Structure 1
Amino acid sequence: MKRRRRIYGQYCGLAGALDLVGERWTLLIVRELLVGPCRYNQLQSNLPGIGTNLLAERLRFLTEAGLVRQRGREGSKVRLYELTEQGEGLREPVLALARWGLGTLHAPRAEDVVRPRWGALAVEAMVDPGAVERDERYEFRIDGEVFHVEIEGGRVAVRDGKAAAEPALVVTTDPVTFVEIGAGRLDPLEATLTRRLSMEGDDGAVLRCSRLLGLLP
C-alpha cells in the first residue's frame, strides 16, 4: 500500500518547498546528485543508514515531482539518477544550508560518516566570489577523490572528478580534517604542522585560495 505523504497545506513558497524536499533523507539524496549522477547502489553506499525501500520511495517521489530523472544507454541495465533542471535549482539553497551548517558542527563522533566526494560540494559552499584575485586553479585531493577550483575570467567553478591543468596549489588531506577546517574548528596552519594537510604551491597561492574559501579575513 502506497504511503500517503503529509503536506503542510499552506499557500507559502517555503511550505511548498518543504512539501517536496522536507522529508528525512531527501535533501541528502539531492546533495549526492548535486555532486554528480549516481547509480542506485552508489546512493545507498553514500547514505549509510537509509533502508533500500526508503531510498527507492524517495527516488520515486522525486522523479514523479520532476526533480530527478533516470538515464542510461539503451539496452543497458545500468541506470543513473541525475537532477533535472528543476532539481538543479536546489543547488544554491542546499549550498546555503551547508554553509550555515558548517558553523553548527562540533567534534566528530566515532560513528559519524564522512565521504571524500562531499568535498567538492563543501568547497563550492565555502567559495566567496567577491574574494577572487586572479585567474588560476587549485586542486584538492581528499582520500583519492580529486576535484579542483577553476577561476577564469573572474568566475569561479568547481570541477568534480578532474585534476587541474597546471594548478597553482595542490591541497591533500583526509575528509575529517577537511570538514574541521571548513567548520573553523581546525586552523590550516595547525593541520599542516601536524601533517594532516599538505599544500604544494607558493605562499601567494595559499593565501589567495584561503581567502577565496573564507579561511582568512
Structure 2
Amino acid sequence: METKRSYGQYCGLARALDIVSSRWSLLIVRELLIGPARYGQLQAGLPRISTNLLAERLRELEEAGVVQRQLDTHTNGVAYALTPWGSELRGAIAALVNWSRPLMVSGPKGDSFQPHWLVVAVESLLLGRRFEEPAVAGLEVDGAVLTVKVDEMGSRVVLNESQKPESVFRAEARVILGLAAGMLTIDQAISMGELRGQKRDLAAIFSAR
C-alpha cells in the first residue's frame, strides 16, 4: 500500500494538494462531478486504474471528507458521491480544464477517451460566459449525446437524456472541445462534423463570451 505523505506546509495550496494530488484522485472527482457512481462504474470510467488503487484512493478521499458513500436506489448497493465540500472542487477542475486547452489541440494521439468525460469538460469551458437567451443543443460523440442547456443562470450539460434536442451536432471529441474552448468558430466546427437542426442553437451557446 502506498504511504500517503504530506508536504508539511502551513499553506492552503499545500494542504489541498495533500488531499488531491495523488495520481487518479482528481479523475475520481471528475467522475463524481457527473453524478454518484458505483465502484464498477468508477472503474469502467477510469481505464488503467487497478482495483486495489481505486479502493485506496476512495478510502483516502472518504477519510479526507471529499467523498461519501450513499445508497444506490437502483440496486440497493453502495454508491460513491462527493460531499458538499468535495463538490467545491468543481471550480478548481474547471480552471485546470481551461488551462489545458493548448494541450488538447493535437487530439487523442492514442489516449483512451470516453464521451461522458465531455460533461465536465464542456461545462468547464463554458463557465463564466454570459448567455443572452436560453438555448438547447446536443453534441453527439461516439454514439453518446450530451445535451447542453444555457440560460441567464449559466450552463448545464446532461448525458444521454431520453429526449434529444432538436438541434444536434455530431463530431469527433477534438472538434467538440475546440468549439467549446473557442478555438474553432461555429462554421469551422460544422465543416468538420454534421449538424442536424439549427445553426443558431449552436451559436447561442458557443458564440457567447
* TM-score (norm. length: structure 2): 0.85
RMSD: 2.6
Identify if the C-alpha distance between structure 1 residues 148 and 164 changes in structure 2 by more than 3 Å, giving closer, same or farther. farther
Q: Which residue of 1 aligns with 2:18?
A: 19
Alignment of 1:157-168 (within 5 A): 157-161=155-159, 163=161, 167=165
Question: How far did residue 53 of structure 1 move?
Answer: 0.8
Count of residues paired in the alignment: 208
Q: Which residue of 1 aligns with 2:124?
A: 125
Equivalent pair of 2:137/2:149 in contact (CA under 8 Å): yes
Deviations 1:120-179 (A, max 9, x none): 111111115443111222222222333322234x11231423538784632222334323
Alignment of 1:15-164 (within 5 A): 15-73=14-72, 78-152=77-151, 154-161=152-159, 163=161
Q: Give me the whole-angstrom Cα distance separating, in 2, the residues matched to 1:185 and 1:102.
A: 9
After TM superposition, the runs of 4+ consecutive aligned structure 1 residues lying more than 4 A away are: 164-168, 180-188
Equivalent pair of 2:135/2:205 in contact (CA under 8 Å): no
Return the match for 1:207 from 189, 203, 206.
Answer: 203
The share of aligned pairs that are identical, in percent, is 36
Equivalent pair of 2:169/2:194 in contact (CA under 8 Å): yes
Equivalent pair of 2:138/2:164 in contact (CA under 8 Å): no
Q: Give me the whole-angstrom Cα distance separating, in 1, the residues matched to 2:107 and 2:191.
A: 21
Q: Which residue of 2 aligns with 1:189?
A: 187
Q: Which residue of 1 aligns with 2:168?
A: 170
AA aligned opposite 2:62:
T
Equivalent pair of 1:44/1:50 in contact (CA under 8 Å): yes
Higher mean C-alpha displacement, 184-193 vs 5-14? 184-193
Q: Give me the whole-angstrom Cα distance separating, in 2, the residues matched to 1:130 and 1:183.
A: 11
Q: Give me the whole-angstrom Cα distance separating, in 2, the residues matched to 1:203 and 1:5.
A: 51
Q: Give me the whole-angstrom Cα distance separating, in 2, the residues matched to 1:41 and 1:142.
A: 23
Identify if the C-alpha distance between structure 1 residues 7 and 134 changes in structure 2 by more than 3 Å, giving closer, same or farther. same
Q: Give me the whole-angstrom Cα distance separating, in 2, the residues matched to 1:170 and 1:124.
A: 17
Question: How far did residue 92 of structure 1 move?
Answer: 0.6
Equivalent pair of 2:34/2:120 in contact (CA under 8 Å): yes
AA aligned opposite 1:127:
L
Equivalent pair of 2:186/2:202 in contact (CA under 8 Å): no
* TM-score (norm. length: structure 1): 0.82
Point out where structure 2 has 5 or more consecutive residues left out of the alignment: none
Identify if the C-alpha distance between structure 1 residues 151 and 168 changes in structure 2 by more than 3 Å, giving closer, same or farther. farther
AA aligned opposite 1:209:
I
Secondary structure class of the residue paired with 2:207 = helix
Q: Give me the whole-angstrom Cα distance separating, in 1, the residues matched to 2:105 and 2:164.
A: 36
